[in-house]
């Protein structure tokens, strides 16, 4: 066991206590209008311009034109798109073959017990699969990384939970949509526009299935993001 210098240990302890307080306040339930201490307006104010890091543009749907870039800032990447509802993962009352015509019983990234994620209780975001357009892993975005999803005046923290088509962007889990007041029905719901996804580089929520842990880490990284950009 390595011993930390006292100053570092004290600082780390302060961060952990703050994270624990946020996790206790918000728990593992995503059903809140706003999470953490950072407002949607403050986050969006940092995203008024785009330093494009993708080699091209993404579509929001298979039939739409390619109009969405992946943009880079210090400590994060972001995009502004729609929200399609992903119900993949563990089979539940809300997410199954009867409710979702495109249902798959697995996700690209898994819970700490090795099982697929649960879309109707865990807020997660889908990133495009690796392609010539953009490689999320090379940009520091990995499974379990934390994401701030902004819709209207609401901020919802989620994790990177699944990968999707290589040329389409703008998708999140049933629980993400529901928490933001978006119709979570995987067949007919979602939002046509107005959703911003801010993905924090080199972050990892542990365990990935803990929404409280995502809120605690996301709130800290959001405050660092505001200070650094």
Does the pLDDT of residue 84 top 60, yes or no? yes
* Domain annotation covers residue 70: yes
* Domain annotation covers residue 25: yes
3-state secondary structure of 221: helix
- Name which residue leads in pLDDT, 16 or 40: 40
- The pLDDT, as a whole number, for residue 77 is 98
Using a pLDDT cut of 90, give the percent of the chain over it. 85
Give the pair of three-digit tokens for residue 98. 């009867």
| CATH number of the domain residue 199 falls in | 2.40.40.10
The pLDDT-based confidence of 111 (bands split at 50, 70, 90) is very high
pLDDT in tens, 171-196: 999 999 999 999 999 999 999 999 99
Please name the residues in contact with 49: beta carbons below 8 A apart, sequence gap of 6 or more: none
Question: How far is the C-alpha of 58 from the C-alpha of 54, rounded, in Å?
Answer: 9
* Domain annotation covers residue 28: yes
* Domain annotation covers residue 95: yes
| Start-to-end Cα distance in the chain | 36
- Please count the structural domains in the chain: 1
pLDDT in tens, 37-83: 999 999 999 999 999 999 999 999 999 999 999 999 999 999 999 99
- The pLDDT, as a whole number, for residue 34 is 67
Using a pLDDT cut of 70, give the percent of the chain over it. 85
- The pLDDT, as a whole number, for residue 170 is 98
Give the pair of three-digit tokens for residue 203. 């972050």
Burial class (CB in 10 A: 0-12, 13-18, 19+), 177: buried
Instruction: Indicate if the alpha-carbon torsion angle 141, 146, 148, 149 is positive or negative.
Output: positive
* Domain annotation covers residue 21: yes
State the average pLDDT over residues 117-129: 98
Q: pTM score, two decimals?
A: 0.86
State the average pLDDT over residues 126-131: 98
Question: How far is the C-alpha of 93 from the C-alpha of 215, rounded, in Å?
Answer: 25
* Domain annotation covers residue 1: no
φ/ψ (deg, to 5) at 163: -115, 150
Burial class (CB in 10 A: 0-12, 13-18, 19+), 150: buried
Select from 206, 217, 219 the least CA-distant residue to 143. 206
φ/ψ (deg, to 5) at 176: -65, -50
| Domain region containing 195 | 6-228
State the average pLDDT over residues 11-25: 39
* Domain annotation covers residue 162: yes
* Domain annotation covers residue 177: yes
- The pLDDT, as a whole number, for residue 142 is 97
Question: How far is the C-alpha of 117 from the C-alpha of 91, rounded, in Å?
Answer: 10
Does the pLDDT of residue 110 top 90, yes or no? yes
- CA distances, 68 to each of 78, 94, 137, 216 (Å): 10, 30, 19, 29
Does the pLDDT of residue 128 top 50, yes or no? yes
């Amino acid at each position: 066991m390595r011993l930390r210098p006292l100053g570092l240990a004290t600082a780390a302890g302060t961060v952990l206590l703050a994270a624990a307080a946020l996790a206790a306040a918000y728990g593992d339930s995503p059903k809140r209008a706003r999470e953490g201490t950072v407002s949607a307006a403050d986050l969006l104010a940092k995203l008024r311009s785009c330093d494009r890091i993708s080699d091209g543009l993404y579509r929001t749907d298979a039939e739409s034109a390619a109009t969405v870039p992946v943009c880079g800032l210090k400590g994060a990447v972001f995009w502004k798109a729609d929200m399609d509802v992903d119900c993949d993962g563990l089979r539940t009352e809300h997410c199954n073959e009867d409710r979702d015509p495109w249902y798959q019983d697995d996700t690209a990234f898994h819970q700490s017990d090795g099982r697929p994620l649960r879309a109707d209780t865990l807020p997660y975001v889908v990133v495009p699969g690796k392609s010539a357009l953009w490689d999320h892993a090379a940009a520091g975005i990995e499974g379990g990384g934390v994401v701030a999803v902004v819709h209207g005046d609401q901020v919802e923290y989620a994790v990177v939970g699944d990968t999707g088509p290589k040329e389409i962007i703008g998708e999140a889990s049933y629980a993400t949509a529901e928490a933001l007041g978006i119709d979570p029905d995987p067949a007919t719901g979602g939002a046509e526009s107005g959703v911003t996804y801010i993905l924090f580089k080199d972050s990892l929520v542990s365990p990935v299935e803990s929404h409280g842990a995502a809120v605690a880490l996301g709130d800290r990284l959001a405050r660092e993001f505001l200070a650094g950009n």
